[in-house]
Structure 1
Amino acid sequence: MSAQTTEAPAPPPAGAAPAPPGTRRPARPGLALAVIAGCNAMIQLDDPIVNIALPGLRAELGLSPVATSWIVTAYLLTFGGLLLLGGRAGDILGRRKVFLAGVGLFTAAALLRGAATSGEFLVAVRVAQGAGAALAAPSGLALVLSMFAPGPARKRAIAVCTATGAVSTAGGLLLAGALTSLGSWRWVLYLDVPLGLAILLLGPFVLRETAPNPGRFDLAGALVSALGAGALVYGLGQAAERPWGDPAVVGCLAAAVALFAVFAVIERRAEQPIVLPRLFTDRERLPAYLATLAIPGALIGTYFFLNQFLQGEHGWSALATACALLPLPVTMATTALAAVGLERRFGPKRLMAAGATLLVLGNLWLATLDSSAPYATGVLPALVLLGAGMAACVLPPTLIATSKLRDGEAGAASSVLNCLQSVGGSIGLATLVTVSARGGMQGGFLAGAGFAALALVAASLLRRRSH
């Protein structure tokens, strides 16, 4: 049935196409989009600031390398494991309610971690943060889908969220580098808090609630999917540190395969499955899913390797290195906004093919780096290629994967997209570390070019017409 809202929808502008059933435009769409984009920025900002804070907190709290790694792993496991449940929760309970609950949990955990006095407390807080992100991320995208009708308005909204995430990465690099140099690692961990509080204050006034859809939670599917996703992410994380044949890696990946097989059986029999089977039987969505899985691997090693290259080979400071990496997120942000017009003119197939080609070229460029390569000709052009390529690759698969949805399906579709991105990042990182252990930085960038080539294959399978 058509989604209800707490208020009557505002009339569309003169000449605007009528919105399809279930789409409700807020009275202040600009502010509503800013709130959702702010959440996307907050979640993406968290990863670089935590990684920058790790050396300081490890030294002050006296943590072992294993304990330190769990500060990152605990978040990834919870986030990846609960994404499907988070998206479904928004469909059943109301997307604004679940979105704000997720932001509130994430912000509270960010506030508590800055006052941490032990590694165990930090790990527990990171579990809570992962749960909050798993509720907020898919519900945020689902709100965008429910607020903006298919067409130019929705494309612009997705582009704004992409650009905001890129800008937050740039700002996070600079702020975290400056705060680490001038103050304590604790200051860095508080960076998310003001943004989270602003979202919580504005959200209830500018976001319209979607009515709960009649249904119940597929608890068995939720549990098995969480365990399967957690086993997969953890196994891939172990593969980044150990050989692929290590019992811990093989055991986790085998468990993940078995759990996903059980999950498939449960979903086929469930009256209201947590993942809609028809999303995976639609031949138009499958290339978009493949692209979503492959794209993170094309960029996952850039910050990791270039940080080492600029600080180790060139002796640059952390702040100078952060400034040197800015062209990537800045180019991504500006290109994301231009991608809407490019997609309308050339179609999703050509736009994504062009983006994937730029990602291949950028990785191949960086694969030729050596210690004598100057920044201006050895690094900068590749950063621009990678930023433009990523922006061009995000919009088409997102539009296709979230098209032709029925009422009450936006959250489930959004959670699948977020889950694929999370798993794709884990696969990319594990592959990167394995290849670079044998082929060094050059091998890592060649692996990134391989992931970009897979995205190019996915682009060739996309349909030509726009969404």
Structure 2
Amino acid sequence: MTDLEDAPRTGTTPTTPVVHRTAILAIILVTYFMIILDNSIIFTGLPSIQATMDFSPTGLTWVQDAYTLVFGGLLLLGARAGDIVGRRRLFIIGLVVFSVASLLVGAAPSGDVMVAARALQGVGAAILAPLSLSLLTATFPEGRERSRAVALYAAVAGIGASAGMVVGGVLADLISWRAGFFLNLPIGAVMIVLAVRYLVELPRARGRFDVVGAVTATLGVGALIFGIISSSEVGWASPRTLVSLAVGVLLLVALVVNEGRVEQPIMPLRLFASRARSGAYAIRFLYLGAMMGFFFFTTQFLQEVFGWSPLQAGLGFLPMTIVNFAVALSVPRLLDRLPSVVVLGAGVAVTFAGMLWLSRVDQGDSFVTGVALPMVLIGLGQGLAFAPLTSYALVGISGADAASGLLNTFHQLGSSLGLAVLVAVGTSAAAAAGGADPVGVLSRRVEVALTGSSVMIAIAFLVVVLVVLPGDLAQRRGHDGRA
């Protein structure tokens, strides 16, 4: 992909902006990589964070969920703000917010401050993620170049998540868990300079902010997560749990009603008219919920059951990272030869096999057979699945709708809600098992939680077969819903 100009080769006027597509793509990919990296870089430092900040096992969940919840809840509003305020300007503001928040997380003196700073990081990510995608679709016209750019964007999602485990482990062991967040400062600074230099401001759209939609989405999912996490501490029959869950459901119902009435919704319901697209959103939600559980519990198993250091635990994810990287880079060529639904289905099925295998791991198993080989399958499956998932979510919709951020919203809300469910299930199972051996209790907790991840992946595969495949066939015949 070479740098191209907007205007024809002849008659170019001095006011015609030059679009440096390669530079813009690099800015988008590096920025998105930084955001996704922060989704997982914290995992290998969780045992150290828990000890330093005195978190309970369930309270530790908020270190991750504060980020993903705010990230997912405000994505839609961030996308709309970019359309109205200006994508270039808001993108730069998002980089500043994310970088400053990273500094605050790294310097946090207490658990409460850390969770608050993680939430602020989520605000910056909620600005950057949808704008990255909308800038990509605006820069590359639909066709081969956009397909390649989208495949690279999707590869970053998978590679960033697994690479974060390795980077986080190395930094946590050699320096401190805080170093992973300080790393964002130089990267963010360079991206700000390049964004000022290369990004071209796109035409703005008149409109209003759907504040009600953003608030009901964020608070609704937040109430559900709070209720689910509370259940492992006070029980499902507790008034705190029941009220939280009821409030969450009511707020999400209000969200749907609001989006069907407002003139400029942040979540246009018409985007769900396509079965293939709706299925892709559901799979993204389930898949990321399972993967967050995988990262959260596997790193604790490696450190607290196998007795590994953060560095060893981070390097322990290399089988997944290497395979994921290699497969993700080859997927664009694979998609030229095979239907997207076949690649997607194969990716989800292979992920299920790896996750189910990993859920059987026990403290007496070896790393190679108990962890590494299942990770190879998970890395292979993730590398295959992400590109077609992204393509299905974007096909046939305008740039403005792509900027609505629904793809990333389901990604992040699936991460936060899925992790909350798996933590609650794992904690309840460990409590029921009892026992004075903390290693045995944690091992049981990990087994149950990863079994839950396997169930989520199995449901995602059913969505591929029962929703995406028929939707894909209908779309090819021209009968599927259009945005």
TM range (shorter): 0.7 to 0.9
1:125-204 aligned within 5 A: 125-204=117-196
Question: Aligned pair 1:218/2:215, yes or no?
Answer: no
Which whole-Å CA distance do the structure 2 matches of 1:51 and 1:145 have between them?
A: 32
Q: Show CA shifts across 1:168-209 (max 9, x none).
A: 445433443333333344433301111111111111222222
Partner of 2:414: 424
Q: Equivalent of 2:448, from 443, 448, 454? A: 443
Partner of 2:86: 94
Q: What is the RMSD computed on CA atoms of the aligned residues?
A: 3.0
Which whole-Å CA distance do the structure 2 matches of 1:364 and 1:119 have between them?
A: 33
Deviation at 1:162, TM superposition (A): 3.2
Report the CA distance shift for 1:139/1:388 in structure 2 as closer, same or farther (over 3 A): same
The number of aligned residues is 448
Aligned residues of 1:106 and 1:128 also touching (Cα < 8 A): yes
Aligned residues of 2:72 and 2:411 also touching (Cα < 8 A): no
Q: Show CA shifts across 1:213-249 (max 9, x none).
A: 1222223333333322332343344456554444333
Partner of 1:457: 462
Deviation at 1:340, TM superposition (A): 1.5
Query: Which residue identity lines up with residue 453 of structure 1 in the other structure?
Result: A
Q: Show CA shifts across 1:293-348 (max 9, x none).
A: 11113323323333343334433322112112112122222211211222221111
Aligned residues of 2:61 and 2:423 also touching (Cα < 8 A): no
Report the CA distance shift for 1:217/1:332 in structure 2 as closer, same or farther (over 3 A): same
Which whole-Å CA distance do the structure 2 matches of 1:374 and 1:25 have between them?
A: 58
The share of aligned pairs that are identical, in percent, is 36
Which whole-Å CA distance do the structure 2 matches of 1:204 and 1:100 have between them?
A: 8
Partner of 2:13: none
Report the CA distance shift for 1:240/1:291 in structure 2 as closer, same or farther (over 3 A): farther
Partner of 1:293: 285
SS in 2 for 1:300: helix
Report the CA distance shift for 1:31/1:237 in structure 2 as closer, same or farther (over 3 A): farther
SS in 2 for 1:368: coil
Report the CA distance shift for 1:405/1:101 in structure 2 as closer, same or farther (over 3 A): same
Which whole-Å CA distance do the structure 2 matches of 1:25 and 1:363 have between them?
A: 48
Partner of 2:6: 9
Q: Which consecutive residues of structure 2, in runs of 5 or more, have no partner in the other structure?
A: 10-15, 430-443, 479-483
Give the TM-score taking structure 2 as reference length: 0.83
Aligned residues of 2:167 and 2:314 also touching (Cα < 8 A): no
Which whole-Å CA distance do the structure 2 matches of 1:446 and 1:98 have between them?
A: 41
Report the CA distance shift for 1:392/1:248 in structure 2 as closer, same or farther (over 3 A): farther
Report the CA distance shift for 1:41/1:450 in structure 2 as closer, same or farther (over 3 A): same
Deviation at 1:107, TM superposition (A): 0.5
Partner of 2:366: 374
SS in 1 for 2:246: helix
Deviation at 1:26, TM superposition (A): 6.8
Deviation at 1:68, TM superposition (A): 6.2
SS in 2 for 1:377: helix
Which whole-Å CA distance do the structure 1 matches of 2:125 and 2:370 have between them?
A: 36
1:296-375 aligned within 5 A: 296-375=288-367
Partner of 2:40: 48
Q: 387-396 or 371-380, which moves further after superposition?
A: 371-380
Report the CA distance shift for 1:210/1:187 in structure 2 as closer, same or farther (over 3 A): same
Report the CA distance shift for 1:251/1:220 in structure 2 as closer, same or farther (over 3 A): same
Partner of 1:21: none
Which whole-Å CA distance do the structure 2 matches of 1:268 and 1:294 have between them?
A: 25
Aligned residues of 2:285 and 2:414 also touching (Cα < 8 A): yes
